[in-house]
Structure 1
Amino acid sequence: MTKIALPLLLLFSICSMAQVQNDTIKKEKEPEELEEVKVQSTRTSRTIRNTPTRIETIDAEELDEKGNMKPGNVSMVLHESTGLQVQQTSATSGNASIRVQGLDGRYTQLLKDGYPNFGNFASGLSILEIPPLDLKQVEVIKGPASTLFGGGAIAGVVNFISKTPSEEGEYNFILNHSNIRQSNFGAYASERKGKFGYTVLGLLNLQKAYDVDNDDFSETPKSNNFTINPKIFYYPNETTTFMLGNSFTKASMTGGDMFVIAGSSNDLHTYFEKNETIRNTTVFEFDKIMAGKNSFKLKQSLSIFDRKINIPNYEFAGFNTNVFTDASYLWNTKKQTIIAGLNILYDNFEQKNISTLDSKSFTTGAYIQQTWDISENIKLENGLRIDNVSYSNPNFSKNQTFILPKVSALFKFNSKWSSRIGGGLGYKIPTIFTEQTETIQYQNVEALNNVKSEKSIGGTTDVNFRTNISEDFVFSINQMLFLTQINKPLILQNNGSSISFINAEKPIVSNGFETNVKFIFKEDLKFFVGYTFTDAKGKYLSGNQFLPLLPKNKLNMALIFEKEHNFKLGLEGFFTDKQYLYNGTQTSTFWEFGFMAEKTLWKNYSFFINFENFTDTRQSKYKPVVSGSHSNPTFDDIWTHTEGATINGGIKLKF
């Protein structure tokens, strides 16, 4: 741990406890009550205001706004959140991953309704294949979240929560088109009648290749993506729920030389990158509410991911199978909530035509978590997980056991001030599927050999203040500090004709802070400011130790004016600091701005238009993204927009 950040966390904890125990705190006028948001990621059915674990939520209203900007996937939802970074990993295919607090995407666990089906070979395309249309909210845990989620949740967890059927029914449709030649057609329907209910999502995304800088190479690939996701719910009585669902996605993306994409390749124009994927996930849930609001839940999923990558004279293809089972029981008493459970995770990757990079893992875990209402003002949450993991490939096999404690606390000083502090351990089993290997299509990557799992220790602490400046004016601020250290990190080394992974002797350390400020006037006018400072270093590096493609300072602002059921206007601005590339050079700083408008024409119809990045900030304005010949191009690391300004608009129907 760094010499500065750890004392700050300890000092903050001591001060927080001292302040809570201070009996001289005066009762102040109650500010306007926040809407009670229930979070699902802690599985305790508590509201966010009474949960010791620090969880940020993106609600349905904000999801609806971000869905206007990019209806096809959730990348825009996460791109504009403080402390999160959508990192594009390919100049031609548009693949991307999610970074939390500056750490590589493999350290963040992506979940859909609590199911971890988006890792390993599927990770590079995961956020491109999660549509926002059926989401109720998104929950983000920053920092270690090992107790309930196990390995991979080192930097944090992003859990996409789906809508469930109601007796009123819901029927939504969206049609969208953009100047970068993308069209989206989506529909979502749900309803409950008596003992049965259903939800169904259908989405078709069509994209033509787009070359904004006329260098003959695509900034967005030619692609088509189709998703169908039906779920059936059965309620035999008021305390029992069965759910069975299946999500199927098929996608094809071709980027590279525009002549090749158009079918006019020749001796000069030969380069392309093609991704073809099929993802199918079947889920089953059984939920039973017992006496005293105790409950039992069984979750089961089977996910398969079939992917083929083609570039000239090279193909990489594989089949990934993921099986997840989790059984848990929740006890509720007057002052305590205890959840205990067992889970099994099996992951198997088989490389097609050759078995060089085959790998598999089998994890069995047991966990328990206690949330204790010590008093009205102090709430403590502590947990423990024990995982046994076996992982292997043709070269070697290992078996490791991990003991993962976690603790967090919530202190309510008075009606305006509150604070959370938490920390824990984590781990990540070795994998060849990282952001760096994704950028080179896994060419010349050697199979893992005698490497160990990465282990982490980390924590966060924050202070939250909220008050009514006047009857109509609400102000809030949240200040958060974070620190994560990853020991024995898995890094790439160049062996000349090949590259391989080794465990570095010195750690990765990421620390910094986030500041979020909100001003709300009459619920109509809202102004948000978020600032992130991230100091993430690879201590194993000689010379410059800053992690690549990571801005040290980032600022995001949003101004929204809305008249409910009438219109909505939004203006956004983002500042991104300099970043180091993998070759050690430094990028420029940049600003980007966006504007959106939505008008409700009739009760159930609305029209929207969005000007994203209307200042046309893009990487090719600073330096060519593609260099070398057309037949043998090389691509720079991606550190900002490649497609430039985009304008999209469409209509939405809600019944």
Structure 2
Amino acid sequence: MQKITLLLCTFLCVATTYAQNSLKILVKNQADQTVLSNVTIMIKGSNLITKTAADGTAGFSNVPNGNQTIIIRNVGFEEQHLNLTFPLTQDKIYEVILTPASDELEEVIVSSTRTSRTIQNTPTRVETIELEEINEKSNMRPANVSMILHESTGIAVQQTSATSANASIRIQGLDGRYTQLLKDGYASFGNFASGLSILEIPPLDLAQVEIIKGPSSTLYGAGAIAGVVNFISRTPREKADFNFILNQSNVGQTNIGAFSMQRKGKLGYSILALTNFQKAYDVDKDDFTELPKTDDFTLHPKLFYYPNEKTTLIIGNAFTKSNRTGGDIFVVNDEADGNHRYFESNKSIRNTSTLDFGYKVNESDLLKVKTSFNYFKRDIAIPDYTFNGINYNAYTDISYLKNISNQSLIFGLNIVYDKFAEQNQIPGLAKNFTTRTAGLYAQQTWDISDRFKLESGIRLDLVNYFNAFYRKNEAFVLPRISALYKINDHWSSRIGGGLGYKTPTLFTEQTETFQYQNLLPLNNVKAEHSYGGTADINYKTAIGEDWLISFNQMFFYTKINNSTILIQDQLGTFHFENTKEPVRSLGFETNAKIIFKEYFKLFAGYTFTDAKANYLPVIQTIRLLPKNKVNLALLYEKESNFKLGLEGYFTDRQYLYNNLQTNSFWEFGFMAEKVFGKISVFINAENFTDTRQSRYKSVVNGSHLNPTFDDIWTHTEGRTFNGGIKLKL
């Protein structure tokens, strides 16, 4: 009888321990209070495990009695523990809020659309290059942002000079003049001031880079046909931040830079100082430089004033002075003689003064006033010819952001004055040109539902441009629309399109190659008109606790009418004309990212571009444009410890201006960085397989006294090794 009683008691205890208790949990993201699917939930010490559904909920139906610890895990978030005692005293859904992991980048807020929304809730397609990647690319090229952009899908940095290494940015195969460059929203790099632009923007003070591909004229006016690249500076925090970098390369480049910022109460500051030195470098020993002798200096202080919680005033002044001399290396090294006299000299001074005023009318509305004045002076010299000029640019923009329930409304106006004046030229041949623009714009961003968001806008620009030969007045009405649809927690899609225009300019990649020699002033050339759009599909998911996969497929199309073309007459002089034949660019970009345990990161990108100019005879494909391009990067990183990276890039064949095709080529790079507390040491091997143009054919033709140069379609300097030290306080 005692044995039966003992057995019965044991059975009752076991049955009580494994009572059929139920539990239901709802998981949300702390950042935006959205529900999270595919979150792993387990009960500690048992084999009970489940995942949240699309609505963020998950449940158990057989939880044992007693004290239980429920573990909630998701990639990119801090692990949460929920301690409960079963049976529960009440039947309810337990809500768990997950916080993004401390070692993750902060949620990306985009400013180029002026709504200060998260990138996930912005209907306009915006790509961002974030601080982590900027820091990695800064190790490779601390002097400028060319490396940051060159390795981005769908963007090419096109070198325009064999001896001075000048370059411009091309998006979706279109010339650089169709891409608008901004620094903190200020357009200081247009027309003549685009010269040397990306070579004079240092990355040391950047927080992120925002890229809008496709027409973006509603907010930014002329020149935003192919897209907009906005370089966003860092802003000071209460904790002081000091960064110092020293870099040295095997090609003779030395970079010394520092950036510091801090906010104390109502005042804050940031200051960037950078100096770069480059020795003349001739890798193929043909007596002509692949990298010019260079010394340049940048100083950019900014003062931040916060008189109260509603008001912000930012005053800045960026100054850059650059001196670049390439050509015959004997001449560059001051050893010129009767057989060595060719050189190309570029001297420039750029000064941009800015004032940014922001006032929060209430908790959600913002009045913004931005104004800048840019002075750019550039002197170009080759034997028996000089070209020099000054570009003045004044920009003022006043906007008001109004937020109501599920809408953001922006109203604004801006005035732009741009004047180029050629120096030391007879009046009849001076390439002087002035453009004055007044614009009104409005934009609405409408959250129709949690899943569907719409952004639409319209702009009216009145433009007056003139020189000594002609004067034109034109009006442009520029609508634009974008839509975001979140299909579910994994899939989303964006589509958008609009109109654009570009006012006439003499300063293009082609005219840069011959230093504007024998180029006639503009005469009766009208603005170019465009329309185009982009559409994409996005997918993002987590596989288990360790894998995070994202994928983006984007399609683009742009057509430019009334485009300007460069004509050479029988006397050897050049001039621009409008053509009725259009330019069109279409293609697609594919991007994939795979992350394993936050340590291994694999990035893959593919770009297909089919861009044609109907006015070109025989072969209408736009020159110096690869139809296929592949970007690959593998990164292994231990946060605040070390990182290793391997990169590979494939570039397809390209047509040259002589209608010949180049070879396709691969290039590879390697980087490593080790952190020792506040100090980090880095090394890089860029293009370590030594892909360079002179391996296929000599870039320089003719005699030393009167050389000619082939179009530049790949590296001229070959492999580059560099290393340095960074200090962060």
TM-score by length of 1: 0.95
Q: Which amino acid aligns with 1:173?
A: F
For residues 55 and 450 of structure 2, what CA distance do their matches in structure 1 show? Answer: 16
Deviation at 1:124, TM superposition (A): 2.5
Correspondence for 2:5 = none
2:338 counterpart residue number:
267
What's the counterpart of residue 3 of structure 1? none
Match of 1:440 among 506, 514, 528: 514
- TM-superposed CA distance for 1:283, in Å, is 0.2
CA deviations over 1:332-366 (Å, ceiling 9, x no partner): 01100001101000000000012410000000000
Percent identity (aligned): 62
Whether the 8 Å CA contact 2:458–2:477 is kept in 1: the answer is yes
Task: Kindly provide the amino acid, as one letter, of the partner of residue 91 in structure 1.
Answer: A
| Length, aligned pairs only | 629
User: Hey, what does 2:485 align to over in structure 1?
Assistant: 411
Structure 1, unpaired ranges of 5+: 1-25
Find the counterpart in structure 1 of residue 602 from structure 2.
527
Map of 2:97 onto structure 1:
none
| Residue aligned with 1:291, SS | coil
Aligned to 1:21: none
- Partner in structure 2 of residue 381 of structure 1: 455
Name which structure has the greater RCO, CA cutoff 8 Å, separation 6+. Answer: 1
2:695 is aligned with 1:621: yes
How far residue 539 of structure 1 moved from its aligned partner, in angstroms, is 1.2
Matches within 5 A, 1:323-472: 323-354=394-425, 355=427, 356-472=430-546
**What is the CA RMSD across the aligned residues, in angstroms?**
1.0
Whether 1:188 aligns to 2:262 is no
The within-5 A match list for 1:63-78 is 63-78=134-149
Task: Give 1:522 deviation, angstroms.
Answer: 1.0
Per-residue Cα deviation, 1:368-392 (whole angstroms, up to 9, x for no partner): 0000000000000000000000001
Say whether 1:653 aligns with 2:719: no
What is the rounded CA distance, in whole Å, between the counterparts of 1:28 and 1:587 in structure 2?
53
Match in the other structure for 2:628: 553
Q: How does 1:485-496 map to 2 (within 5 A)?
A: 485-496=559-570
1-structure distance, mates of 2:310, 2:132: 30
- Following superposition, the deviation at residue 29 of structure 1 comes to 6.6
2:75, 2:546 within 8 Å by CA — same for their partners in 1? no
Q: Quick check: 1:258 aligned with 2:333?
A: no
CA distance in structure 2 between the aligned counterparts of 1:448 and 1:307, rounded to whole angstroms: 20
Which structure has the larger Rg? 2
Query: Equivalent residues in 2 for 1:222-261 (5 A)?
Result: 222-261=293-332
Contact (CA 8 Å) 2:435, 2:463: kept in 1 or not?
Answer: yes
- The question of whether the paired residues in 2 share the 8 Å contact of 1:373 and 1:380 is answered with yes
The 8 Å contact of residues 323 and 347 in structure 1, kept in 2 or not, is answered as yes
* Equivalent residue letter for 1:517: A
Contact 1:382 1:406 in 2 (8 A): yes
**Match in the other structure for 1:502:** 577
Could you say what secondary structure the match of 1:62 adopts? helix
Alpha carbons 2:315, 2:355 under 8 Å: kept? yes
Q: 1:598 maps to which residue?
A: 673
Q: 1:38: which partner in 2?
A: 109
* Separation (CA, whole Å) in 2 of partners of 1:190 and 1:292: 27
Report the Cα offset of residue 540 of structure 1: 1.6
Matched AA of 2:320: T
AA partner of residue 483 (structure 2): A
Asked if 2 retains the 8 angstrom alpha-carbon contact of 1:390 and 1:400, the reply is yes
- Please tell me the residue identity of whatever aligns with 2:120: R
Structure 2 residue ranges without an equivalent (≥5) = 1-52, 58-73, 77-99, 101-105
1:98 paired residue among 166, 169, 187: 169
What is the alpha-carbon distance in structure 1 between the residues aligned to residue 336 and residue 675 of structure 2?
A: 47
Partner of 1:9: none
Mapped partners of 2:139, 2:55: distance in 1: 41
Aligned counterpart in structure 2 of residue 637 of structure 1, from 711, 719, 724: 711
Contact 1:455–1:488 (8 Å) recurs in 2:
yes
Match of 1:27 in 2: 54
**Given the alignment, which residue of 286, 294, 306 partners 2:377?**
306
8 Å CA contact 1:124–1:435 kept in 2: the answer is no
Check if 1:322 corresponds to 2:397: no
Is 1:541 the counterpart of 2:612 in the alignment? no
Question: What corresponds to 1:4 in structure 2?
Answer: none
| Residue aligning to 1:515 | 590
Contact 1:28 1:414 in 2 (8 A): no
**1:270 & 1:492 partners in 2: Cα distance?**
29
The separation in 1 between residues aligned to 2:449 and 2:591, in whole angstroms, is 28
Q: What is residue 567 of structure 1 aligned with on the other side?
A: 642
Offset, 1:32: 4.8
Amino acid at match of 2:119: I
Q: Deviations over 1:271-294 (max 9, x none)?
A: 000000000000001100121410
Output the CA distance in 2 between the equivalents of 1:495 and 1:111.
Answer: 36
Query: C-alpha deviations, 1:226-248, integer Å up to 9, x for none?
Result: 00000001100011011111000
C-alpha distance in structure 2 between counterparts of 1:133 and 1:477, whole Å: 30
Aligned to 2:619, the other structure's residue is in SS state coil
User: Matches of 1:183 and 1:137 in 2, distance apart?
Assistant: 24
Deviations, residues 486-510 of structure 1 (Å, cap 9, x unaligned):
0011010111220110111110010
3-state DSSP of counterpart to 1:360:
strand
Give the ranges of 4+ consecutive aligned residues of structure 1 lying more than 6 Å apart after TM superposition.
28-31
Give the structure 2 partner of residue 158 of structure 1.
229
Question: What is the deviation of 1:36?
Answer: 2.0
> Is residue 2:315 matched to residue 1:288?
no
Instruction: Supply the distance in 2 between the matched residues of 1:49 and 1:615 (Cα, whole angstroms).
Output: 39
Provide the rounded CA distance (Å) in 2 between the counterparts of 1:228 and 1:499: 38
The residue number in structure 2 matching 1:22 is none
CA deviation profile, 1:55-96 (whole Å, cap 9, x unmatched): 000000000000000000000000000000000000011110
